[in-house]
Amino acid sequence: FRYFNIPCKVTASPSEALETLQQMTDNDMKPDLIITDNNMPGINGIQLAKEVRYNHKFPNPVVLMLSSLEKNLYQHEADKAGVHKMLTKPVKLHELYALLCSFFNTTKQVPRVQPVTPTIDKIADSATIMVVEDDAINMMLISEVLGKMGFEVIKANNGKQALKMLEEQEPVLIFMDVNMPEMDGFATTQMIRKMDGIYATLPIIALTADAMLGDKEKCIEAGMNDYVSKPFRLEEIENVLKTRILLV
């Protein structure tokens, strides 16, 4: 916001945000815009939006919510909570700028888009998938989606832990984060390919936020079978699962 020359207050948690709002209200100040993450400890962004909306002491600012997962998964609930718009992380500067212009360069009420909320269909019974991911939020999100699809999820926080767990587990597919401490996804995949049994052909799907030209080729060269970029999109996950483990 310094880039746009817009003053702002930054808080580290929903409770701190509510305290700041109360202080501003007590001093006859009000924010024009609240930007909140959805996935936070304590209460999430949707719950925070409800607190702001239904507390009559607070003003009625525009609420913008950020999410690491496909925004339509939460859009219906967010719309009911009073969230005006959702953005998928990582946020692009031009998207944020366009939103700010649409919110504040007009006297019209901010339009609400009626969302089409996607459903997560169950596509498996008791099949096991391993997720190797060091980011707790990303692990929670993809595990939740896979669970709703009917999969059992084995969780590993890094490559070394994944290799240890594979000595006793036989998943039908592995989602592998590329950038991890201790042992990254490339090195872990190369080690898995050297293991006996099913591991030479076990589907390994790369997860990476670095969606740059040539990344997919680098993953394939390391021994991975496919590539899903962050933030995760439901259709991508479904397609790769149906393609790689023949669920349809």
Instruction: Give the CATH number of domain 128-244.
Output: 3.40.50.2300
CB 57 within 8 A of CB 29: no
Most confident of 135-144, 182-191, 216-225: 182-191
**What tokens appear for 108 in the block?**
């019209």
pLDDT in tens, 127-136: 999 999 998 8
Distances in whole angstroms, Cα of residue 198 to Cα of each of 38, 128, 156: 39, 14, 19
- Contact partners, residue 91, CB within 8 Å, separation at least 6: 66
Cross-strand pairs, 65: 36, 86
**CATH architecture observed for domain 14-104:** 3-Layer(aba) Sandwich (3.40)
pLDDT in tens, 224-237: 999 888 777 788 89
pLDDT in tens, 6-22: 788 888 888 888 888 88
Check whether 222 has a pLDDT greater than 80: yes
Q: Alpha-carbon distance 221 to 121, whole Å? A: 32
Nearest to 48 by CA among 40, 70, 56: 40
Average pLDDT (76-101) is 79
CB 205 within 8 A of CB 174: yes
Supply the pTM of this predicted model. Answer: 0.56
Peptide bond just before 231 cis, omega within 30 deg: yes
Cross-strand pairs, 67: 88
CB 128 within 8 A of CB 152: yes
Average pLDDT (47-57) is 80
Q: Mean pLDDT in the chain?
A: 82
Q: How confident is the model at residue 104 (pLDDT cuts 50, 70, 90)?
A: confident
Check whether 94 has a pLDDT greater than 80: no
Surface-to-core class of residue 17, CB atoms within 10 Å of its CB (0-12 exposed, 13-18 middle, 19+ buried): buried
Positions of CATH 3.40.50.2300 in the chain: 14-104, 128-244
